[in-house]
Structure 1
Amino acid sequence: MKKSIKRLVAASVAAMAIFAAGCGSKTTPTTAPTTAPSATIAMSASLKKIKDSGKLVLGTSADYPPFEFHASVDGKDTIVGFDIEVAKEIAKDLGVTLEIKDLKFDGLLAALDQGSVDIVIAGLSPTEERAKSVDFSIQYYSAEQAVVVRGADKGTLTTLESLKGKTIAAQKGTIQEDAAKAVEGATVLSLGKISDLILALKSNRADAAIIEVPVAESNVKENTDLVISSIVIKNEGEGKVAAVKKGSADLVVEVNKTLERILADGTFEKFVLEATQLSEK
């Protein structure tokens, strides 16, 4: 697992370097430059709200270990994960406190648009459709997709073609849902939480579930009747970004400064390893 995490973090650093050089893929819209905005430009409403309130309100969906999840810390239920640690660093650099709102994933961008959260960090991938309503940070993490199946089906569900006529579970509003919809002849079962996907597999409501690799590994470890199949999902838009309200270029600049710092000095890799270890307890 550690080798996998290190490889993914290395890919993230490489992706950041490409982003900084001005390159982007079809599914990764160009983010705002990381140089400071001109002093003549008024502070955006988003950044002003954060500064005036003295807090950064994070929107996340805490069912996605090791990104964000619930754990008992000193006997208290706490939202933890490497995305949460990233948000703490951003708040610290902004000189404000962090407030966390745990929401369903498919409601996060609406909450951002409505102003009930200031930033979304939730294993979020940049897509052209999402870029119409939000501004993205640079990519800070990259991961692959896995197809989880029941152990009894490991030998028969081995290719995308073998999923024809099958039911694939995926989290609603995610790129995994898009990937499931792209499987020819399959039925897609869209659900709100990762735990719902696992339950659908175990109760035979679904034959397979598309889940991001570190999250899939965490859940398979907890459910020994499930396995990660040999099915390969094409990776598109798998890089992870933070999102802020559209028109908040100055806030993007501040977020990017923090991301660049923690990616460059090894802090982010430390967050990933610690969150992975905690999720495996």
Structure 2
Amino acid sequence: MNMLLRTLLASVAGLVVSQACLAEDLLAKVKAGKQITVATEARYAPFEYVEGGKIVGYDVDLLQYVMAGALPGVKNKTLDLPFQGLLPGLDAKRFDMIIAAVTANRERVSKFAFTLPIAEATIGVLTRADSAGSIKAPADLNGKVAGAQIGSVQTDALKALDKKLKEAGGAGLKEIKEYVAYDEAYADLATGRLDAVAQSLSNLGPLMKSRPGVFAVLPQTIGPKSYFAWVARKDADSAALVKAMNEGIARANKDGTMKKLQMKWFGMSMDLPVDALPEPSM
């Protein structure tokens, strides 16, 4: 074999290897590297929070179950970031996925790939127990100060409620305060600097249990039924990883693991769609 032919064959072989590497999607890269890098906000109990120096919670347990089936032998590197930095960080490819309670709404679903639902995100209204006599329904929040997290669907729900109250002839909300983390909002509500906090019902049950006699939850929700899910980039590179995660979530839903984890962390179970994330209505 002459030198020219050898050089040509070597070039072709190199091109094939190069194309194979380029063809590797995110799931293949994660498996090959034995590590997935995910981001969360560890200030959103009981989904994820810090206890004893470790991030614990419902999402942590569910991810461990899903990874055991979908990514055996792969280690999980978790970045703890403010909620406001999760979606921009994912878009900038600073990590592989968001493993946190992110509400699926129209705007987010149009830009990112959401997994199957991992919990219900329907929004409730938290008040102080001592104001239960004067605030019995969302309509009683006219002239009141309400709070939620910056950049959250809950804040959007408060803005929608404010508009609805005004359209009905009321004064609307006096002010909507936005917080970096919900713990700050709960503290302000407990001390009287807020009259109400908009939060998902999934979070409110455990909070009520941990702070008996401090808070109350209105019987009516605000906004339509909605769901929490994990998030990935909406591109061909991430598609196989999202599919693997969905298969694990569906398995957890069908074999009872999800309900066991919900009882452990929320004190209640939720009936969630198994086959697809419903089209968001907000």
Normalising by the smaller structure, the TM-score range is 0.7 to 0.9
Distance 2:133 2:24 in 1: 57
* Structure 1 unmatched ranges of 5 or more: 1-40
3-state SS of the aligned residue for 1:176? helix
1:267 maps to which residue?
257
- Aligned pair partner of 1:244 in 218, 232, 236: 232
Partner residue of 2:222 out of 208, 224, 233: 233
Say if 2:67 is the partner of 1:62.
Answer: no
CA distance in 2: counterparts of 1:70 and 1:161, whole angstroms:
36
Q: Alpha carbon RMSD of aligned pairs, Å?
A: 2.1
- Give CA deviations for 1:12-44 in whole Å, capped at 9, x if unaligned: xxxxxxxxxxxxxxxxxxxxxxxxxxxxx9443
TM-score (norm 1): 0.76
Name the residue aligned to 2:197: 209
Please name the residue that 2:84 is paired with: 106
Task: Say yes or no: does 1:50 pair with 2:37.
Answer: no
Q: Is 1:173 aligned to 2:151, yes or no?
A: yes
Letter of the 1:249 partner, please give it: A
Q: Secondary structure at the match of 2:148?
A: strand
Q: 1:87 aligns with which of 60, 63, 67?
A: 63
CA contact (8 A) 1:65 1:276 kept: no
Query: Matches of residues 151-166 of structure 1 in structure 2 within 5 Å?
Result: 151-166=129-144
Q: Which has the larger radius of gyration?
A: 2
Q: How far did 1:48 drift?
A: 4.2
Give CA-to-partner distance per residue, 1:29-79, whole Å, 9 cap, x none: xxxxxxxxxxxx9443x334423432112211122222112223xxxx221
Deviations 1:63-106 (A, max 9, x none): 2222112223xxxx221112112222333322311111111112
Question: Is the CA contact (8 Å cut-off) linking 1:146 and 1:212 kept in structure 2?
Answer: yes
| Residues 119 and 202, structure 2, Cα contact 8 Å, conserved in 1 | no
Amino acid in structure 1 at the alignment position of 2:219: S
1:123 matched to 2:111? The reply is no
Q: Are 1:221 and 2:209 counterparts?
A: yes
Q: Partner of 1:182: helix, strand, or coil?
A: helix
Aligned length in residues? 232
Normalising by structure 2, we get a TM-score of 0.75
Contact 1:66 1:276 survives alignment (8 Å): yes
Residue identity opposite 1:137 in structure 2: T
Q: What displacement does 1:131 show?
A: 2.2
The alignment-based identity, stated in percent, is 27
Letter in 2 for 1:63: R
